[in-house]
Structure 1
Amino acid sequence: MKTLLLSLAGAFMALILFFLIVPVIVISLLVPSQEPKQPTAPIVLSLDMRNEYTDRTATDGLGALFGGVSFIDIITKLDAAATDPNVVGLTIRASETGIGSSRAEELRDAILKLKANDKFVIAHSQGFFLGGPSSYRAVSAADEIWMQQGSEFSVPGISLESLFFKGLLDKVGVTPEIMAFYEFKNAPNSFTQEGYTEDHALAMRALGTDLWNISLSDISADRADRFKGEPDMRTVLEDSPYSATQALELGLVDHLGWPEDIEREAESRSKGHIIDIGEYTAPAMGPDAQLIALVAGEGAIVTGTSGGDFANINAENKIASDTVSEQIYKAGDDPKIKAIIFRVDSPGGSPTASDQIWRAIEYVQSEKKKPVIISMGSVAASGGYYVSMGADKIVANRSTITGSIGVFGGRFAIAEGLAKIGVTSDSIDIGGPYSSTYTSVEPLTPVQREKMHTSLKNVYDRFVTLVADGRGMSWDDAHERARGRVWSGIAAKDQGLVDELGGLMRAVEVAREEAGIDPDAKVELRNIEPVPDPMEIFTTMFSGSESEARAMRFMGSMMSDKRISAALGQFQSMQGEPRQASISPIIER
């Protein structure tokens, strides 16, 4: 008995300690610590692009608990380093696979600014293999590119590939009952087609051509001392792959060597310290700096809130309309903030949530008289364009994927599939004929189909009307540019859907201009981020519940293909909101 009591007492004390200590650890991780003391000058920054970076700081999952560097952090730190006299250079470990054309463009811009301020940039690659030209383009402006012997240089072009599930759905007796507005709104094609439609192929081919041509233009400019221009560079790249030795002989890289060789080279040039970019703290702007707010949104656009979900280790960033709208209102209410930059990196999602965020921007502009500038990341399409269209100025990279102004909706009729395994359904509908439109497993009736068409067209018409108002064009002109078609950033500017070409730091300059801030005044970018409740964090850590959407995304991630993961997520999203303003993932290969 004594042993039993001692065991129970020990277990009880362990539980008490656990529930006391764990919250303290969790909360301490969220409380900002003192900035790390930086080594004395000179400093060489180190950046590893082989890591996967979210565009913005994670607010859910393990990433939110343990922090980490986001792509926005990288760009803002490099921009500060360009004019920091303590920083003399940068070393980069290039990614072996693609990082995306838009990110490559933004990183290249940062490298060019560093070089313009007399900072050296040295990159090392262990091979350029997959994902198009983005990994090479990201570092092509470096002073020197080193490549490991025995690796391969393969940058022959861009391949945009999609998966189609119609054959699978036919086999299991599932019929997609989906309508799209209009011919270029190709997200449902993953379920309704067995390959590209003529319109789908036209839009994708134009997009891929733009991305490839922009990449060739940048790379040939960066290696102009070794090549005779873009046609010469095109011929050489499209004839790849090459061995590392061949790449050196052709002038695609400058040296052969090992990763540690560039560290020795950097130390030799600088006589200083190499530190990871995450450890670098930009010089303080001082109390007189003019404040520009940065609200960063990444992921699918959904209704509700985000932030503090640490129980789900697979949680992804999302643009939750309540949370983002609150951030925009908060920035609008702060008299010290002169302008707002809303960074959008999203394939879209709920039109209802997008409308809510659009309204928050419109309110701050009209009631608080503050300019709102959009900085488009890798993708800002469909709902991602919806939340952007009313801003004072839209800034996009030339390689940003945007547009896709359109909507689709519907459901999946699964009655035939269920019958194959002996499951039947029956229903009793009370009320009008539309009552079971999104809940029945049976195919749509003609009346339901007609009403669904009307409902989705109303969403599309409002979308196009707001585009026309925001971009200062007629409804017909907006419709002509809409119809669900995706555009590259450079094409979107030609179409009048984007105002300026450039990345986040260009958006800062545009915000300065729109707010009337003196060109010589210092500007501080102030992050407006959701602050999770520590008690809510603690509660979610011990919650066993997970939404079906998370499970579906997790299944896709386990299958190691972003296209499958996105398709499953899209399927599940339609169960929550049957109307969607989103695009299928466009993955460069």
Structure 2
Amino acid sequence: MSLRSPYARNGSLFSSQRGGKPSKRKWRFGHIIKNAFKRMCMLVGFLVIFSAVMGAFTSSLFMGETKVPSIPSETILFLPLEGTFIEHSNTVGYGLGDKVPTIREVVGTIDRAAKDDRIKALVISDRGGALGLVHLQELRNAVKRFRESGKQTYFYSPSYESLGVYYLASAFEEIWLQPIGILNIPGINAEMPYARNLLDNIGIEPQIFARKEYKNLFENVTDDHMSEASREAMSSLIDTLGKIISADIAEGRGLEPAAFRKALDKGLLLDEEALSAGLVDVVGYGDELNEMLIESITGDPNSDETVFTPLSAYQRAVEHESVLSPVAVKKKPNVALIYIVGQIVQHNLDGANELSSAESLVGVLRAAAERKDVKAIVIRVDSPGGSPVASESIRRAIVHAQEKGKPVIVSMGEAAASGGYWISAPADHIFAAETTFTGSIGVTGGKFSLKEMWSKLDVNWDSVSWGENSSLWSFNQPYTASERERMNALMDQIYNKFVAVVAEGRNMSPEQVDAVAGGRVWLGAQAKDVGLVDDLGGLDDALDYTANLLGHNDRQDLQVTVLPRPKTAIEKIVEFLEMQASIGKMYDINVRILEWIEPLMGSIASQENHVSALAVTPEGKI
């Protein structure tokens, strides 16, 4: 929501003119443009810096607050599901606003609450949350473990607007739906637009190379319909995904899969229909659930006693308690948990690609490999891919860590596809969630030729070149035969290297890899069947496996060091201010450019005024 000032800026109500002939006004367009640009930058800069300072002030107040939430002897853990969870805290914000929790923090806190006698129940309320399927599965598994501890779980939503939200809710013992709310579970539908005919009409020619038939990243612009390979792969993905979700919901609700499928095929269920189908337990209001829970703790539904403890407050409290605990802490083996999140690139430009650039991650991996106190490395990969060169740089750093005697275990997040799988392949053990998108062992690239479009617009591009293939990356010319040969050579080299990397890492022959490659995307459940991953599970499963590998019971016996190190709020603010300094330098350069062109603008304006004067008659008319 945007807020407008109630005050309008008014122009002058009165104006005065001096007597006599008005003086001729000299227009200096360059000066006007320069001043307008300068004032605009000053205003924007002031607002940005003011926001940063206020953020730093409020953050310092928060960090300076010494009061730690206290946990009542009997309380209910409460989590409002709003927004999303993240993988690593460095992926969002500049230390301003509310802290966005990581999925590991949320899952870890619920697991801890399951063992805490003070926590009697868990309640999650849907407030427009938007979680990916892997995070939904990891949160769902944490809820199931909480239930197994013998504690009550409740999920409330005024209306279940998506299959994903209901998928999470189905893990709870009691599901509430507000009267007149709906259960919207229409299944899964994937639609893709194909724009080749449009591009042909406007004269844009996609010239794309791919290895191989399933590498369909640009198919939406190279074709006017879905290819058979894409349809096959997409149908397989959706069918497998539907079976996973259907089986989990049926198990959570104690239904036969066929009974749930019958309800799902309706698409949309009204409140009483959802209740009759056994998909919700109570059609009731939020205040009724609230009063029931208050009564379960206090014996009085109208009690003013604090009953609910937000998950974030509980997390801070238990962390504080563990620091003050007089119990001697047993020395635990140190495990480096390294996050690779986002599109893989080579350079960490202005610190924006800390979690996905080879420039940053190679150093982190090599440092972990050299540390004697680090006994193993767990890598959390959540990446759709990116640069092959950057992926190979990161892969080499992982191999180096293995050569130093460090076991490397990979946990795949929402996606570990293409370059994300390239860097995962050498791991000693790979975990993927059932719904992780992985594989995509292939490569694609090319350009769009705009030659025909320019011809339609009567624009002619001319050029002077040096080198037989100097127009290789020009959008104004299609590929020549020589340039096509170079592009095909590049595609073949990258694809063959990719296959070799996977074959080496997964102990497969190149022929075995090629049979499951071709650019095809697999769900984690499918990837396990074809040998691309070792086990199904989340990050906690990967950490438990690592603990067992080191001779311990589970992840609670590990000292986990998160890398890259999460930044503090102050560090994020400083980084933000440094970015503003860079913007300031750019502003200074732009002002100098305007100062340089101002005389030219003035000269042009003078000539325009001269021509206008000649065109005006003595009567002041043209």
TM-score past 0.5 threshold: yes
Q: Deviations over 1:240-278 (max 9, x none)?
A: 311112111211000112234333333333456323222
Identify the residue that residue 544 of structure 1 maps to in structure 2. Answer: 583
Alignment match, 2:495: 460
Give yes or no for contact 1:328–1:360 (8 Å, CA) kept in 2.
Answer: yes
Task: Indicate the SS of the match to 2:139.
Answer: helix
Distance between the aligned counterparts of 2:557 and 2:231, measured in 1? Answer: 47
Aligned partner (choices 273, 283, 298) of residue 307 of structure 2: 273
SS at match of 1:68: coil
- Structure 2: how far apart are the matches of 1:542 and 1:423? 40
Tell me which residue corresponds to 2:12: none
Alpha-carbon offset, residue 546 of structure 1: 13
Q: Give TM-score, length-normalised by structure 2.
A: 0.77
* Conservation of the 8 A alpha-carbon contact between 1:291 and 1:339: yes
Distance in 2 (CA, whole Å) between partners of 1:215 and 1:169 is 38
Amino acid at match of 1:48: P
- Tell me the residue number matched to 1:570: none
Deviation larger for 512-521 or 535-544: 512-521
* Range that drifts further, 291-300 or 262-271: 262-271
Q: What code does the residue aligned with 1:484 have?
A: G
Verify: 1:493 aligned to 2:528, yes or no. yes
1:235 pairs with 214, 237, 262, which one?
A: 262
**Which residue in the other structure is 1:386 paired with?**
422
Describe the shift of the 1:59–1:217 C-alpha distance in structure 2 as closer, same or farther (beyond 3 A).
Answer: closer
What CA distance in whole angstroms lies between the structure 2 residues aligned with 1:74 and 1:19?
Answer: 29
- Structure 2 partner of 1:251: 278
Contact 2:94 2:576 in 1 (8 A): no
| Alpha-carbon distance in structure 2 between the residues aligned to 1:297 and 1:307 | 17
1:153 to 179, 183, 208: 183
Residue 435 of structure 2 corresponds to which residue in structure 1? 399
Report if the CA contact (8 A) 1:345-1:380 is conserved: yes
Summarize the Cα distance change of 1:317–1:103 in structure 2 as closer, same or farther, 3 Å threshold: farther
Further displaced range: 134-143 or 512-521: 512-521
Question: Which amino acid in 2 is paired with 1:459?
Answer: I
Range with greater deviation from structure 2 (443-452 or 513-522): 513-522
SS of the aligned residue for 2:424 comes to coil
Alignment partner of 1:341 out of 378, 381, 397: 378
Deviations 1:478-516 (A, max 9, x none): 111110001111110000001010111111111112333
Please report the RMSD computed on the Cα atoms of aligned residues, expressed in angstroms.
3.1
1:381-436 alpha-carbon deviations (Å, 9 max, x no partner): 111111211111110111111111111011111122233334322222212x3332
Question: 1:47-91: CA deviations, max 9, x gaps?
Answer: 233423333324354477753212232222223322233333211
Q: Which residue of 1 aligns with 2:40?
A: none
The match for 2:219 is 189
TM superposition score normalised by structure 1: 0.81
Residues 95, 128 of structure 1: 8 Å contact kept: no
Question: How far is the alpha carbon of 1:308 from its aligned partner?
Answer: 5.3
**Structure 1 residues 258 and 418, CA gap change in structure 2 (3 angstroms):** farther
For 2:172, which of 120, 135, 142 is the aligned residue? 142
Question: Distance between the aligned counterparts of 2:262 and 2:375, measured in 1?
Answer: 49
Whether contact under 8 Å (2:94, 2:575) holds in the other structure is: no
What displacement does 1:356 show?
A: 1.6
Cross-structure match for 1:261: 288
Which one is further off, 319-328 or 344-353? 319-328
Name the residue aligned to 1:374.
410
Q: How far apart are the structure 2 equivalents of 1:457 and 1:209? A: 32
Match of 1:302 in 2: 345
In 1, the alpha carbon distance for the partners of 2:118 and 2:334 equals 24
Q: In the alignment, which residue of structure 2 is the partner of 1:322?
A: 359
Cα drift, residue 289 of structure 1: 3.2
Amino acid corresponding to residue 404 of structure 1 in structure 2: S
Q: Alignment partner of 1:349: what SS?
A: coil
Preserved contact between residue 91 and residue 262 of structure 1 (Cα < 8 Å) = no
CA shift at 1:287, angstroms? 5.2
Change (3 A) 1:545 1:412: farther
**Secondary structure at the counterpart of residue 142 of structure 1:** coil
Q: Indicate the larger mover: 476-485 or 32-41.
A: 32-41
Equivalent-residue separation in structure 2 for 1:294 and 1:43 (angstroms): 32
Helix, strand or coil for the counterpart of 2:337? strand
Instruction: Check conservation: 2:55, 2:97, Cα contact below 8 A.
Output: no
Query: Does 2:387 align with 1:357?
Result: no
Bigger mean CA deviation after superposition, 192-201 or 515-524: 515-524
1:288 aligns with 2:322: no
Amino acid of the residue matched to residue 201 of structure 1? Answer: R
Q: Is the contact made by 1:300 and 1:318 (CA closer than 8 Å) also made in structure 2?
A: no
Q: 2:79 aligns with which of 40, 44, 47?
A: 47
Corresponding residue number in structure 2 for 1:473 = 508
What secondary structure does 1:348 align onto?
A: coil
Aligned residues of 1:382 and 1:403 also touching (Cα < 8 A): yes
Contact 1:373 1:394 in 2 (8 A): yes
Work out the CA distance in 2 between the residues paired with 1:21 and 1:324.
31
Q: Contact 1:60/1:307 (CA < 8 Å) preserved in 2?
A: no
SS in 1 for 2:89: coil
Q: Indicate the residue corresponding to 1:558 in structure 2.
A: none
- In structure 1, how many angstroms separate the alpha carbons of the residues matched to 2:133 and 2:351? 31
For 1:26 and 1:438, how far apart are their aligned partners in 2?
49
User: Would the alpha carbon gap of residues 360 and 212 (structure 1) be closer, same or farther in structure 2, given more than 3 Å must change?
Assistant: same
Residue in 2 aligned with 1:166? 196
Q: Take 1:190 and 1:317, find their aligned partners in 2: how far apart are those partners? A: 31
Unaligned runs of 5+ in 2: 1-42, 299-305, 324-328, 587-622
Classify 1:394/1:269 alpha carbon distance in 2 versus 1 (closer, same or farther; 3 Å): farther
Q: Report the number of matched residues.
A: 521
1:408 to 444, 456, 460: 444
Conserved? CA contact 1:173–1:417, under 8 Å: yes
Quote the Cα distance in structure 2 between the aligned partners of 1:43 and 1:248. Answer: 29
Separation in structure 2 between the aligned mates of residue 352 and residue 27 of structure 1, nearest angstrom: 40
Residue 498 of structure 2 aligns to a residue in which SS?
A: helix
Structure whose alpha-carbon radius of gyration is higher: 2
Equivalent-residue separation in structure 1 for 2:554 and 2:107 (angstroms): 21
SS in 2 for 1:280: helix
